[in-house]
Amino acid sequence: MKKHEFNAKGMACPLPVVQTKKLLAEYDVVETTVDNFVATENLTKLAEQLNYNIDVKKVSDEEYIVTVSNPAAGKEEKKAKFIDTSEDRCVLPVIQAKRALEKNSLVELLVNDEENVKKIHDFAAENNCKFVSEVTESGVYKVILEKEVTEEKEQILQIKDDSYIVVINKQIMGHGNEELGKKLIKAFLYTLTEQEVLPKKILFYNGGALLVDKNRSHVLKELKELEDNGVEIMCCGACIDYYKVDLAIGNSSNMYFIVEDMRTANRVVRP
């Protein structure tokens, strides 16, 4: 069982959840330390979404340890397929080993002579298998073969979904405090980059046009990552002229195409 400890104290929402989800693709258990109760609730929702186990331990008002674990991890124990070839002279032990490994990852054989042990050893070396042999008290060789599985990091596939677009018409997300709104729109775009399904386009108009400006935007990194993953970044041409936007990313559009995109999209997301 692979476990990882992740310190997310000081990280703004949604970073603790996003990074924990990434780590769960590689580890069976992730122990995330956060500094606020809201983060524990968000991690609990993540665990429920994945059908994973969740345990929350409060250390203090400023420290919580959240353990998310895969319930399937560690349940399966490897059982060796046992084959006694010491009395069988019809089929070569190496052939029996090969057949057994087609359906089993762990095989144990009893072999009666050193020559056949060597053949199995050569087979193991050629087929990326672990090989262990020993002589038993009765003089028979016990050979254990195990397939070596190359672990690959699970990649989060990002798929562009032509059925929805995102439209942004101001520099902030929501209404109220401007500083908070700027943090929220940045968090929204960052979280969008981590989604498995990406939008076809992001349309910017009115105050939202400032988010694609070379000097006035605070979200160019997130927009660049979205663009690199195939998302079209479009900005209203009239808004570019009005706000004197120095376009740093994407292309200009006009109201005709903006209306067409919004009318024909199955879903329009407005943060």
- What's the pLDDT score for residue 153? 40
pTM higher than 0.75, yes or no?
Answer: no
Which residue intervals of the chain are DSSP H helices?
15-24, 37-50, 93-101, 114-126, 178-193, 220-228, 237-243, 255-264
- What's the pLDDT score for residue 79? 74
d(CA 76, CA 202): 45
First to last CA, the chain: 40
d(CA 215, CA 247): 9
pLDDT digits (tens, 9 = 90+) for 165-200: 999 999 999 999 999 999 999 999 999 998 888 999
pLDDT digits (tens, 9 = 90+) for 211-235: 999 999 999 999 999 999 999 999 9
The angle at the Cα of 36, spanning 34 to 39, to the nearest 5 degrees, equals 70
Whether residue 85 contacts residue 108, with contact meaning beta carbons closer than 8 Å, is answered with no
With a cut of 70, say whether residue 241 has pLDDT above it.
yes
List of residues 6+ apart from 148 with CB closer than 8 A: 128, 129, 130
3-state secondary structure of 167: strand
d(CA 112, CA 132): 15
Residue 200 tokens, joined: 């076809």
Per DSSP, 25 falls in state: T
pLDDT digits (tens, 9 = 90+) for 122-134: 999 998 899 999 9
Mean pLDDT, the chain, rounded, equals 88
With a cut of 80, say whether residue 75 has pLDDT above it.
no
pLDDT digits (tens, 9 = 90+) for 136-157: 888 889 999 998 765 444 444 4
Whether residue 165 contacts residue 266, with contact meaning beta carbons closer than 8 Å, is answered with no
